[in-house]
């Protein structure tokens, strides 16, 4: 790294630096890049990409560092940390320009001051860049779709080290691929998204006796099939963490609007169903809905699985809730889709499966030294769940490889992604990801 370009304005951290260990830390396993760079500008990003390409070093890109993927463990690797590209700029016509290193909690608070919101996952510390490139499913998914459905323009440093614009009118093939294709096509240095005018929201939490988990999930499904787009709701099963924290079941919901009576009426069938032990329905800010998951005090192995389903049948509900109860230390969620999410054509972005009514997810917590066979047994049990399940969501699984790509993308989508990759990254420089190799 002694020959790194002197015109680089950001910070360069090498393995002999006292800042190296903190800078390489993330939610994934320990990684050992040959260097870590923190660009201050898009020009810095371009310098870093060109340097890596010219030295035969693979670039790995990090925005918020929330991913459990360990994509920087293959040496030689240069970690490009985008955490200093944090601009949040409100433009005209409800457009917002976001730096990839911004985190969604800060974005939500800033936009809330302007009466605006962007659908953005449900965790405040997640970075803008990683979430958007994966799709972005948040509390406004039924009202405005995925985060990528609000994307208007992106500035991208390509594998050639050039800064280009991607939109419906400029480099539309690249723009299509960025919306769900992950970090395969370049380093995005800014995103322009269309925000939603949102003066307030109603938040709701409904606690349910775990003995009623299957029946409650059926009611949740039936209510969400008829719900207006303003209502999004996630069904949650949380594991027991000891005698003081038994296993619990909840429905967490967001009504996009500030009329408490209207929201309460929409939620009424859920509030009154058998098994409800407590509930709250109250005005909130969009930012307050973004919480922060606790970081485990000891190293853990997380085995995650996810499936889109176009028809959440009684059989599938019974099977997935039984699996949650049987596996013990498992977090389970079912996110309501439909609405604006399903009005987007399946080929409009790289996230297909738009006919789905729900997105199922499970994360099983194992000791940090859990062997691969134990992890595979859990994956196999998920794969044995009854259908219909049509594919998975890239942001919700940590696995990589060709088999995983076939789960994430339908054949036509994957073929199109490979074609775009061949144009924009023919040597597969950006491969430390859920990699789409060039055709």
Q: Of the candidates 28, 25, 129, which has an alpha carbon nearest to the alpha carbon of residue 70?
A: 28
In the block, residue with structure tokens 């800078």: 23
pLDDT in tens, 212-243: 999 999 999 999 999 999 999 999 999 887 78
Q: Is the pLDDT of residue 136 over 90?
A: yes
Q: Cβ(119)–Cβ(141) under 8 Å?
A: yes
Helix (H, G, I), strand (E, B) or coil at 327: helix
**What pLDDT is recorded for position 299?**
64
Q: Is the pLDDT of residue 265 over 60?
A: yes
Buried b (16+ CB within 10 A) or exposed e, 400-409: eeeebbebbb
Domains recognised in the chain with CATH numbers = 11-81 (3.30.43.10), 88-198 (3.30.465.10), 201-402 (3.40.462.20)
pLDDT in tens, 268-321: 999 999 999 999 999 999 999 998 766 655 567 889 999 999 999 999 999 999
Q: Is the pLDDT of residue 126 over 70?
A: yes
Q: Is the pLDDT of residue 337 over 80?
A: yes
pLDDT average, residue stretch 183-212: 98
Q: Is the pLDDT of residue 342 over 90?
A: yes
How confident is the prediction for the chain on average, in pLDDT? 93
pLDDT average, residue stretch 87-93: 98
* Residue 242 CB partners (closer than 8 Å, separation 6+): none
pLDDT in tens, 178-193: 999 999 999 999 999 9
C-alpha 183/C-alpha 406 separation (Å) is 17
Q: Is the pLDDT of residue 352 over 80?
A: yes
Per-residue CA distances from 81 to 95, 226, 332, 343 (Å): 26, 43, 31, 35
**What pLDDT is recorded for position 355?**
98
pLDDT in tens, 10-63: 999 999 999 999 888 764 556 789 999 999 999 999 999 999 999 999 999 998
C-alpha 179/C-alpha 349 separation (Å) is 6
C-alpha 123/C-alpha 290 separation (Å) is 5
pLDDT average, residue stretch 109-118: 97
pLDDT average, residue stretch 237-251: 89
pLDDT in tens, 355-414: 999 999 999 888 877 888 989 999 999 999 998 999 999 999 988 877 899 999 999 999
**What pLDDT is recorded for position 15?**
94
Tokens at 294, concatenated: 């606790």
**What pLDDT is recorded for position 68?**
56
* Residue 19 CB partners (closer than 8 Å, separation 6+): 13
* Residue 110 CB partners (closer than 8 Å, separation 6+): 88, 90
pLDDT in tens, 60-75: 999 876 665 555 555 6
C-alpha 216/C-alpha 322 separation (Å) is 13
Q: Does the CA dihedral 118-123-126-129 come out positive or negative?
A: negative
């Amino acid at each position: 790294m002694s020959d790194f370009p002197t015109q680089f304005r950001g910070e360069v951290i090498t393995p002999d630096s006292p800042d190296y260990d903190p800078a390489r830390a993330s939610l994934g396993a320990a990684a050992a890049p040959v260097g870590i760079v923190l660009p201050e500008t898009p020009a810095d990003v371009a310098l870093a990409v060109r340097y890596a390409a010219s030295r035969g070093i693979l670039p790995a890109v990090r925005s918020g560092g929330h991913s459990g993927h360990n994509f920087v463990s293959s040496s030689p690797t240069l970690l490009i940390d985008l955490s200093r590209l944090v601009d949040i700029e409100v433009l005209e016509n409800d457009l917002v320009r976001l730096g990839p290193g911004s985190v969604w909690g800060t974005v939500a608070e800033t936009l809330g001051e302007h009466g605006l919101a962007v659908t953005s996952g449900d965790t405040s510390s997640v970075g803008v860049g990683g979430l958007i490139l994966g799709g972005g499913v948040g509390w406004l998914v039924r009202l405005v779709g995925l985060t990528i459905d609000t994307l208007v323009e992106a500035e991208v440093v390509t594998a050639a080290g050039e800064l280009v614009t991607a939109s419906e009118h400029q480099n539309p093939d690249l723009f299509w691929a960025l919306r769900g294709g992950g970090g395969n096509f370049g380093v995005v240095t800014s995103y322009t998204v269309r925000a939603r005018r949102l003066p307030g929201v109603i938040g709701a939490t409904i606690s349910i006796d775990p003995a009623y988990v299957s029946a409650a999930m059926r009611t949740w499904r039936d209510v969400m099939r008829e719900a207006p787009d303003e209502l999004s709701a996630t069904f949650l099963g949380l594991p027991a963490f000891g005698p003081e924290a038994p296993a619990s079941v909840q429905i967490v919901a967001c009504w996009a609007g500030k009329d408490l009576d209207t929201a309460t009426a929409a939620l009424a069938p859920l509030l009154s169903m058998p098994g409800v032990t407590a509930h709250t329905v109250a005005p909130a800010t969009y930012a307050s809905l973004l919480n922060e998951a606790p970081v485990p005090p000891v190293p853990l192995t997380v085995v995650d699985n996810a499936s889109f389903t176009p028809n959440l049948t009684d059989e599938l509900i019974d099977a997935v809730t039984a699996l949650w109860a049987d596996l013990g230390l498992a977090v389970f969620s079912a996110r309501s889709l439909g609405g604006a999410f399903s009005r987007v054509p399946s080929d409009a972005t790289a996230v297909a499966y738009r006919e789905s009514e729900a997105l199922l997810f499970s994360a099983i917590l194992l000791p940090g030294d859990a062997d691969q066979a134990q992890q595979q047994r859990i994956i196999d049990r998920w794969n044995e769940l009854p259908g219909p399940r049509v594919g998975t969501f890239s942001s919700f699984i940590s696995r990589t490889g060709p088999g995983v790509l076939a789960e994430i993308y339908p054949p036509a989508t994957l073929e199109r992604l490979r074609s775009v990759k061949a144009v924009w990254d023919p040597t597969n420089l950006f491969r430390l990801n859920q990699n789409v190799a060039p055709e």
